[in-house]
Every structure is written in structure tokens, then in C-alpha cells.
């Protein structure tokens, strides 16, 4: 999630505050000393997880593990959980749903894990959660938010991240909040036939239609599509005022290039992914001028002013090198998993799965995470309230423009300026 231009001051102070907190905890207090004594004398808490270290999801799987490891290392450096050291037992599922089942059975029966964290993806979390439920374990995860995860109605599963389907809700809320006289009248939608993007587009479309924004084009296309020109042309032909695309970066770039060539200037142009990719995005669209006013939905970036986000930047860069921009959002999502667990354990003084599950599922209990504050939605089968934000390219920088609590005064640029 490479993203530049979010005000750095807050982040800078956050990093200093976090560093100071780490230093004071390491150097100071008897409480920590006492915790360390307990640390040595009590058995560790084993947290089992399976991740895709090989196979189709290996890039994300490795990031998934990085987030868990950063959290565990941080917690252990601060006395562990309830004074006990946290040990992660990590197995490789090879991106395979069958292997996930075997792995979680092994984690419970062979490795006697006390608690479980989730694997990567909407595909692999449901089988993992099924095993967890069978043995009375809860499964907290951060990398599987597709509708199929919650459709299982598994009360033992908790997703810390924003549910996939809700990624465009903030965008729809912003559009529908515009005065009726200013509000666009027509919208075009295009999305991959994909369990990740299509539900977002469909929910957004439903919300906009309910607010009187007419659908003039709706296109769904296969994942294998490589030639996007006809899809973009159909949108151009529709002359829609709002364009919302369920995208990856190559699709988003192809849309921008075609729209620009055809001198088609929608008032609002929003993508579910692509423009959030910082320098990579600028490279494929041909520079900052080409991206002015384009919106993208974001659930997390290294520059978000949220609980321990600056600390996560620091932990990541000091452990894995590089810059915060090089950190995958998968890392933040699994770091959030640890944060929720830690806060629940500290509140209940327990690592009993039933006790923790009862505490976490209570919608009145709010957990602070690097993605923002979350609670679990009653009847949501593990869906959290984690928000998604609207980012918009303004003057060569991607800035948060909605909702107001995160935008810090920045306003959406509307209508989007014409192409240069």
C-alpha cells in the first residue's frame, strides 16, 4: 500500500510517542520486571495459525505471517499476555483448503494451541473456522472478508478488517449526502466477476439507486479479461456522471487511459483498487497530472492516524527494512488481529476461548486497531465495524477526504477536473 502525502506531522509525533513508550516500558517499571519473572516461570501461550507460505497466495501469506510475528514480538517485549510469553506455531497450507483443515486439526490436537489466528484469504478462512468451531476454539482473522466467510454463520469466527462488501459504503454515503441539486443523476459500474469486488459494486449500486442515481451501464466481466478497451468504451458511450469500477491496478490504468483518449470526463471516478498503489499507479497512468480527482477506497495505509499505526510502521521497518510504504495491508490486518486478542485477554484476564469469544462478540466492546476502532456487529457472524475511507488524488498526493473524522479538513474535489 504505497501512499504518499498524508500529513506526516501526526505520524511523526505518533512514532516518537510510540518509541518513548517502548523505551519507558523496556527501561522502567517494576511491573514489567514482575511480568518478566512470571514470563519465565509460566508456560507460554501457544497461538496456532496456518498461512500460505507457498502456492497461489504465497505473497500475501508471507505478509499475513509478518503481521502476526510483529505483534507477537512486540507483546513479548512488553511482558507477554497475562505475563506469559506468546509463541506462534505456524504451519504452511500451500494455499490449499484441504491442507488448511489438516493444519488446524494438527494445531489443536498435536501442538495443543491455546488460541488460533486465521490464515490468508476468503477461500481459506471458512474451512479453518469450521475446524475451530468443532473444537470450541474461536478464530480471529484479518485477511478474509468476502461475503462467503460470513455466510457460514460461524459464531466462532471474527474478522478484524472491514468486510469486503462494505468497502464502498463510505463512498456511497458521501455521494448521497450531496444536496440533491448537486448530486449526479447517472452512474456506470464495471467489475470483475470476483467474490472480492463484485459485492462491493453491487451494494454501492443499490445504495446509489435508492438515492435516485440511475444506473446507465453495469458490466461484469471474467477475471481472465486482459483487453479492457470495449468495457471502457461502453462506459464512455453511456456518458455516466459517476463511474465506479471494481478493479485491480491494470484495469484502473486501462480505464483512465481510454477515458482520457476519448475526452470523457465523468464528474466522479472511483476505483476499488489501483490508485492506492502510489508510485506504481503513477507509473502506469503516466504521472500525477493524469490522476487528479480520482478516488479510491482504502481500509488502511501506513499514514493513517490510528491506534499504534505509527508503531507498526516503526516495527515493520526496523524488522524487515524498507519503508512503511512497502508494507502490505495484509501485515496491518493481521497485526490488528493480535491487537483485538490482546485487548480482550487484558479485559477478561483469561485465555479461555469461551470467555474471550463472549467478550469479543459483545457489540459494546470497542477494540482499537491500526485500521481504526472496531466492534463486532450483532448478528453479523464475525463482521466487524472496521471502516473504509475515501482517498482522492489531489495535487499529486493521495489524501483522505471522507469520512470527516479521518479527512482532517480535506474536502472531496467534486466534480473531478477534466483530463489535462
Partner 1 sequence: MSFILYAIMIGILDGGIYALMACGLTLVFGVMEVINVAQGSLVILGAYMSYVLASTLHLNLYLGLLITMPATFLLGMAIEWAFLRRLRVDRIALSILVTYGVSLAIEGGLGMIFGDTYVALPAPSGTFTLFGYATPDIKLYVFLMACAFLAGLYVLLYRTTFGAALRATVQNRTAAQLIGINVERISTLTFALGAALAAAGGMAFGATRSFHPGSAEDLISRLLVIIVLGGFGSLGGALVGALLFLVVEDMVSVLISPIWGPVVFFAGLILILLVRPQGLFGQLEARRQ
Q: Which residues bind partner 1 (CB under 8 A)?
A: 59, 193, 219-222, 224-231, 233-234, 237, 249-250, 253-254, 257, 261-263, 277, 280, 283-284, 286
In the bound state with partner 1, the residue whose beta carbon lies nearer, of 226 and 395, is 226
In the bound state with partner 1, the residue whose beta carbon lies nearer, of 115 and 256, is 256
Long-range contacts of 408-417 (CB under 8 A, 24+ apart): 408/7, 408/305, 412/174, 412/295, 413/292, 413/293, 414/178, 414/182, 414/267, 414/268, 415/267, 415/268, 415/293, 416/265, 416/266, 416/267, 416/268, 416/269, 416/292, 416/293, 416/294, 417/292, 417/293
- Closest contact distance (angstroms) between CB of 299 and partner 1 is 20
- Closest contact distance (angstroms) between CB of 244 and partner 1 is 16
When computed from its CA atoms, the radius of gyration of the chain, rounded to whole angstroms, is 22
- Closest contact distance (angstroms) between CB of 127 and partner 1 is 25
Q: What is the DSSP letter of 376?
A: B
- Closest contact distance (angstroms) between CB of 319 and partner 1 is 19
In the bound state with partner 1, the residue whose beta carbon lies nearer, of 63 and 374, is 63
Tell me the three cell numbers of residue 10: 501526526
Cα–Cα distance between 158 and 391 in angstroms, integer?
27
In the bound state with partner 1, the residue whose beta carbon lies nearer, of 247 and 371, is 247
* DSSP-derived secondary structure for 141-188: ESS--SHHHHTT--TTEEE-SPPGGGGGHHHHHHHHHS-TTTS-SEEE
Cα–Cα distance between 35 and 147 in angstroms, integer?
41
- Closest contact distance (angstroms) between CB of 255 and partner 1 is 12
Cβ atoms < 10 Å from Cβ of 231: 20
SS3 label, residue 88: strand
In the bound state with partner 1, the residue whose beta carbon lies nearer, of 109 and 283, is 283
In the bound state with partner 1, the residue whose beta carbon lies nearer, of 90 and 233, is 233
- Closest contact distance (angstroms) between CB of 204 and partner 1 is 19
In the bound state with partner 1, the residue whose beta carbon lies nearer, of 21 and 59, is 59
Residue ranges of the alpha helices (H) in 193-248? 198-210, 229-238
Long-range contacts of 22-31 (CB under 8 A, 24+ apart): 22/77, 22/78, 22/311, 25/77, 25/78, 26/77, 31/79
- Closest contact distance (angstroms) between CB of 197 and partner 1 is 14
In the bound state with partner 1, the residue whose beta carbon lies nearer, of 169 and 298, is 298
Cα–Cα distance between 88 and 201 in angstroms, integer?
37
Amino acid at each position: 500500500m504505497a501512499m504518499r502525502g498524508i500529513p506526516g506531522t501526526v505520524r511523526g509525533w505518533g512514532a516518537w510517542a510510540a518509541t518513548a513508550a517502548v523505551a519507558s516500558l523496556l527501561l522502567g517499571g517494576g511491573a514489567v520486571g514482575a511480568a518478566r519473572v512470571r514470563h519465565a516461570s509460566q508456560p507460554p501461550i501457544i497461538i496456532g495459525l496456518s498461512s500460505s507460505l507457498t502456492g497461489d497466495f504465497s505473497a500475501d501469506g508471507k505478509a499475513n505471517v509478518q503481521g502476526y510475528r510483529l505483534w507477537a514480538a512486540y507483546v513479548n517485549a512488553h511482558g507477554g499476555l497475562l505475563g506469559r510469553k506468546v509463541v506462534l506455531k505456524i504451519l504452511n497450507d500451500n494455499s490449499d483448503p484441504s491442507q488448511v483443515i489438516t493444519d488446524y486439526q494438527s494445531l489443536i490436537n498435536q501442538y495443543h494451541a491455546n488460541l488460533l489466528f486465521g490464515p490468508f484469504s476468503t477461500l481459506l478462512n471458512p474451512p479453518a473456522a469450521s475446524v475451530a468451531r468443532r473444537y470450541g476454539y474461536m478464530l480471529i482473522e484479518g485477511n478474509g472478508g468476502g461475503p462467503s466467510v460470513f455466510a457460514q454463520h460461524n459464531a466462532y469466527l471474527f474478522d478484524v478488517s472491514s468486510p469486503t462488501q462494505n468497502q464502498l459504503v463510505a463512498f456511497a454515503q458521501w455521494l448521497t449526502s450531496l444536496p440533491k441539486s448537486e448530486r449526479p443523476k447517472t452512474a456506470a459500474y464495471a467489475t470483475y466477476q470476483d467474490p472480492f469486488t463484485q459485492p462491493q459494486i453491487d451494494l454501492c449500486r443499490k445504495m446509489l439507486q435508492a438515492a435516485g442515481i440511475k444506473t446507465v451501464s453495469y458490466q461484469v466481466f471474467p477475471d481472465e479479461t486482459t483487453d479492457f478497451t470495449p468495457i471502457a468504451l461502453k462506459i464512455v458511450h453511456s456518458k455516466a456522471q459517476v463511474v465506479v469500477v471494481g478493479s485491480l491496478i491494470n484495469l484502473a490504468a486501462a480505464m483512465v487511459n481510454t477515458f482520457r483518449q476519448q475526452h470523457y470526463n465523468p464528474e466522479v471516478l472511483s476505483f476499488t483498487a489501483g490508485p492506492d498503489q502510489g508510485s506504481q499507479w503513477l507509473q502506469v497512468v503516466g504521472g500525477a497530472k493524469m490522476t487528479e480527482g480520482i478516488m479510491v477506497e482504502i481500509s488502511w495505509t501506513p499514514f493513517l492516524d490510528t491506534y499504534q499505526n505509527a508503531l507498526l510502521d516503526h516495527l515493520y521497518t526496523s524488522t524487515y527494512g524498507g519503508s512503511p510504504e512497502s508494507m502490505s495491508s495484509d501485515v496491518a490486518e493481521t497485526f490488528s488481529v493480535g491487537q483485538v486478542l490482546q485487548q480482550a485477554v487484558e479485559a477478561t484476564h483469561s485465555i479461555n476461548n469461551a470467555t474471550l469469544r463472549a467478550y469479543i462478540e459483545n457489540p459494546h466492546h470497542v477494540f482499537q486497531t491500526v485500521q481504526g476502532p472496531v466492534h463486532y456487529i450483532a448478528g453479523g457472524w464475525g463482521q466487524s465495524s472496521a471502516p473504509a475511507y475515501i482517498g482522492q488524488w489531489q495535487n499529486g498526493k493521495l489524501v483522505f477526504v471522507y469520512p470527516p473524522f479521518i479527512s482532517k479538513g480535506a474536502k472531496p474535489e467534486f466534480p473531478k477536473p477534466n483530463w489535462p
